Amino acid sequence: MLSILDRYFLRELGTTIGATVVVLLVIMAGTTFAHVLEQVAKGSFPASVMFQVLGLNMVDTLSSMLPLAGFLGVLQTFGRMYRESEMHVLASSGMGMGGLLRPMAIVAVIMLVLVSAVSMWLGPWSARTSDNLVAAANRSIIAAGLDAGRFTELPGKGGIILVDTLSRDGQKLGRTFIAAERTNKDGSLVMKMATGQHGNLYSNSDSSNRYLALYDGWQYEIPLGADNWRRMKYERNDSALSAIQSDDETDPIHNLDMSDLLRNTTPDARAEFAWRTVVPLMTLALLMLAMPLSKQTPREPRYGRMLIAVLGFFLYYNLLALCRGQLAKGHWHHATPMWLLSLGLFAIAAWNFRNQYAARAPRKARA
């Protein structure tokens, strides 16, 4: 049964951690949205799946965002209570170390469940779903906004296309007209146009390029600024719609679920497995670290310890990333350094927290 004090701590911690998660999500959403827009402009995937990709990318970032949100949320909550002397009043009323550990244990269990679910299952699932969604959209011309009887601009400056009929799956086309501007090796511009009685869309094996096959039509090549036009009749004409350009390298190891990851013995797989399993321990260590760091006096600068805490978080996070890089390169074969680093930080934080509430020896009276 929770006491009134436990419910008060849980309410304050939950509100602050939730608000911190929202703020971090807004910050990350702005950065991710700008990157997704850049990829859409380059033709990496059509704009129709932009918001789905954005949402899935945000889910994938929660494994790194939730530990930071919990760390900052606990730091802000207890820091405010120390500045407003609430902690001193509670301590003078008989609240000891256990009064803080009980609600923090509940918060830690909830955070561990959420972070473990995101890092081990939800994050890889969202990355895998995002890649599949983009691949499916790039295989379907209807995802690029093609509509029968209307001129449509192809992504990636691939030209314009007009069809009179379109199948329900977007793969089969009726009478088709396509026009695109191309640059020759000598720098001259050529307008290429093609017509066909019918056509179909297909992609290569890795879905990196899309092609349009037209049948029974004519192709025209018109050099801009010259009069040497060319016309050719064909039975089949394959045209590249646009090359899919992407600055993001797909990480197949990150997309694997835990069962497939355990069967993979490559260095990248060992590094990915180590990271997924150390993130919950990182969350626990950060929550413990926030408790001694939050203690401050009313006259102390409000954001002084916050700055120290953020710098400490990035130092700790970069050390873990360095250990992960050593695993991925094959220099290390186990994740023991990552676990020792997190356990050492947890032990140091627990020792400092215990010393804050340890009974002090009374001073001897001077004669």
User: How wide is the angle at C-alpha 124 spanned by C-alphas 122 and 126, nearest 5°?
Assistant: 65
pLDDT score recorded for residue 244: 47
Average pLDDT estimate for 26-32:
87
> Is a pLDDT exceeding 50 seen at residue 14?
yes
Helix (H, G, I), strand (E, B) or coil at 153: strand
Percent of the chain with pLDDT over 70: 84
> pTM score, two decimals?
0.74
Which stretch of 14-28, 139-153, 161-175, 288-302 has the lowest confidence by average pLDDT?
139-153
pLDDT class of 45 with cuts at 50, 70, 90: low
pLDDT score recorded for residue 247: 47
Average pLDDT estimate for 340-344:
93
Of residues 5 and 341, more confidence is placed in 341
CA dihedral 254, 256, 257, 260 (to 10 degrees): -130
Amino acid (1-letter code) at residue 161 = I
Q: What is the pLDDT of residues 144-169, one digit of tens each?
A: 556 678 887 776 566 788 888 887 76
β-pairing, 172-173 with 152-153? unpaired
State how far the Cα of 341 lies from the Cα of 332, in Å rounded to an integer: 15
Average pLDDT estimate for 219-230:
83
pLDDT score recorded for residue 140: 59
Of residues 246 and 184, more confidence is placed in 184
pLDDT score recorded for residue 43: 59
pLDDT score recorded for residue 66: 92
Q: What is the pLDDT of residues 277-298, one digit of tens each?
A: 999 999 999 999 998 888 887 7
Percent of the chain with pLDDT over 90: 26
Average pLDDT estimate for 302-313:
84
Q: In what helix (H) or strand (E) does residue 209 lie, and over which residues does it extend?
A: strand 209-223
Average pLDDT estimate for 31-37:
83
> Is a pLDDT exceeding 90 seen at residue 111?
yes
Helices (H), ranges, the chain:
4-41, 50-60, 62-83, 86-92, 97-117, 123-139, 258-263, 267-293, 304-328, 336-357
Of residues 45 and 303, more confidence is placed in 303
Name the residue among 256, 278, 158, 249 with its Cα closest to residue 211. 158
Amino acid (1-letter code) at residue 81 = M
| Average of per-residue pLDDT values in the chain | 82
Specify which of 37-51, 181-195, 237-251, 318-332 reaches the highest per-range mean pLDDT: 318-332
Q: In what helix (H) or strand (E) does residue 151 lie, and over which residues does it extend?
A: none
Name the residue among 358, 309, 305, 283 with its Cα closest to residue 82. 305
Distance of CA 234 to the CA centre of its chain: 47
Distance of CA 247 to the CA centre of its chain: 15
182-196 CB burial, b ≥16 within 10 A, e <16: eeeeeeeeeebbbbb
pLDDT score recorded for residue 49: 78
Residue 233 and residue 218 in contact, taking contact as beta carbons nearer than 8 Å: yes
Name the residue among 238, 267, 240 with its Cα closest to residue 253. 267
